[in-house]
Structure 1
């Protein structure tokens, strides 16, 4: 479906919001969508660094990117996206709640949870070095430490919204120090170390085997 939408748009596709997208479909769509400015591919385990490199090279005017729950995408993609898309102002890179794995039982495959990125600081440093114009950064449950957060505070001075919900490796002092360096910050979501299950509204992932594009929930805009 993503390929078809990109083909019909004839190079004018500007917004893509999909889930469970394949890497090949994403790369194919990116090659024919130079005007793409908003890309959301949440929960797309088939998307890898290779397909994200294609996005970076073919979609230079990207302003918003959501790669939450895409565990085959690493810090390398973040570096290249930042370098190739200088107008990026919104980045969403959340992962599943690893503090309470019981809430994922029977809804998310164990192998998917085990693939959860462990190099939170490396990703944070990649963001800080390549995305200086970011205004909104969402890192729910990311595994960055104070080192990564300080790097973000130093490299992303224009941040207005910073969401650190569930980032349990951070300290209150570290967060306060980082926030003090972000003069434009308007909204800061802190980790909230007491996290009741009722705070989460996990989507149903009973169809994990159905990663075919026919089962995507899609939004395309020209």
Structure 2
């Protein structure tokens, strides 16, 4: 009872007691503790915060386990507010920023990088990353106008574990890259090879360089042939706005029998009817996206394509900063 009385007296004592705050030096935390904390932070928080605090934090923030995944897509989505692209992202200056980050992550990861999702990177930086990432399983480099077959050949040679590849809107990458990836990456089950909407280029005016828009790949059937021959294990295939014909469609559906998702939105040489017939024998198919869209009168005869519904997602602009 006496102890309880003392406690009560202390609690309601009108005389405030002096509180002594212990000052701690957070820089003296062990690297194990720091790494554990940094695992709970976002990529941006580590990059802009922890790495800039002090030398010990910088060293801890480079722990390879923190770089198994390098995903910039959330940053792109946030900066563009869900819109596909902004003019600044297509500049050499922005490409250098992305390249610098990709190179750093590849070095810090020490061979443990399993996922890379970036945009607008160069041949040099992707090759650098591929050589240092033998365990890479997911690679997304869409909208990278400088990428060519040269860097994809390096990816195919050093990253045989890849199971997901997104090379959408990479116009300097040809069917040869699809062949190399198919031959060397037997685990590949997801391929995204979408193109920009070439049917209505006005959607990209002021954002994507005009010369790049004019370089839209024409070899849709050759790409389809490469996919059919070298990627028979695919389960997910996206070929939006591809210029393949019914012949290329048949090759794919006859050879890639495990497909669960097929996306041919915007493929002007295909009809919904032909797609339904060609895919009828795909027993595992769950999702089929038909080539339904609107084609401006200035591109094709409206009476031929008048039954296709409106597709008018306008690109907007913003400034992305890393």
Secondary structure, counterpart of 1:180 in structure 2: coil
Q: Separation in 2 of the partners of 1:203 and 1:54? A: 34
What are the Cα deviations for residues 59-117 of structure 1, in whole angstroms up to 9, with x where unaligned? 00000000000000000000010110000000000001111112121121110111110
Q: Is the 8 A contact 1:146 1:170 kept in 2?
A: yes
The answer to whether structure 1 residue 173 and structure 2 residue 264 are counterparts is no
Rg bigger for which structure? Answer: 2
Q: Separation in 1 of the partners of 2:314 and 2:233? A: 31
Instruction: Give the aligned partner of residue 120 of structure 2.
Output: 20
Instruction: Give the aligned partner of residue 121 of structure 1.
Output: 221
Give how far 1:178 is off.
1.3
Give how far 1:181 is off.
2.2
What are the Cα deviations for residues 135-180 of structure 1, in whole angstroms up to 9, with x where unaligned? 0001111111000000000111000000011011012332122111
The answer to whether structure 1 residue 60 and structure 2 residue 172 are counterparts is no
Q: Is the 8 A contact 1:121 1:147 kept in 2?
A: yes
Instruction: Give the aligned partner of residue 132 of structure 2.
Output: 32
User: Does 1 or 2 have the higher relative contact order (CA < 8 Å, sep 6+)?
Assistant: 1
Q: 1:74 aligns with which of 174, 178, 181?
A: 174
Q: Is the 8 A contact 2:120 2:146 kept in 1?
A: yes
Q: Is the 8 A contact 1:68 1:95 kept in 2?
A: yes
The answer to whether structure 1 residue 192 and structure 2 residue 298 are counterparts is no
Instruction: Give the aligned partner of residue 90 of structure 1.
Output: 190
Aligned residues between the structures: 208
The answer to whether structure 1 residue 45 and structure 2 residue 145 are counterparts is yes
TM-score by length of 1: 0.89
Q: Is the 8 A contact 2:263 2:290 kept in 1?
A: yes
Q: Which shifted more, 48-57 or 178-187?
A: 178-187
Q: 2:315 aligns with which of 194, 202, 205?
A: 202
Secondary structure, counterpart of 2:194 in structure 1: coil
What are the Cα deviations for residues 197-220 of structure 1, in whole angstroms up to 9, with x where unaligned? 44x25364x77xxxxxxx787xxx
Q: Is the 8 A contact 2:203 2:314 kept in 1?
A: no
Give how far 1:195 is off.
4.8
Q: 1:201 to 1:34 in 2, by over 3 A?
A: farther
What are the Cα deviations for residues 121-140 of structure 1, in whole angstroms up to 9, with x where unaligned? 00011001001110000111
Instruction: Give the aligned partner of residue 145 of structure 1.
Output: 245
Give how far 1:120 is off.
0.3
What are the Cα deviations for residues 32-66 of structure 1, in whole angstroms up to 9, with x where unaligned? 10000000001101110011000000000000000
- Structure 2: state its 5+ residue gaps: 1-100, 294-307
TM-score by length of 2: 0.62
| Structure with greater helix percent | 2
- Structure 1: state its 5+ residue gaps: 208-214, 218-222
Q: Is the 8 A contact 1:161 1:185 kept in 2?
A: yes
Secondary structure, counterpart of 2:178 in structure 1: helix
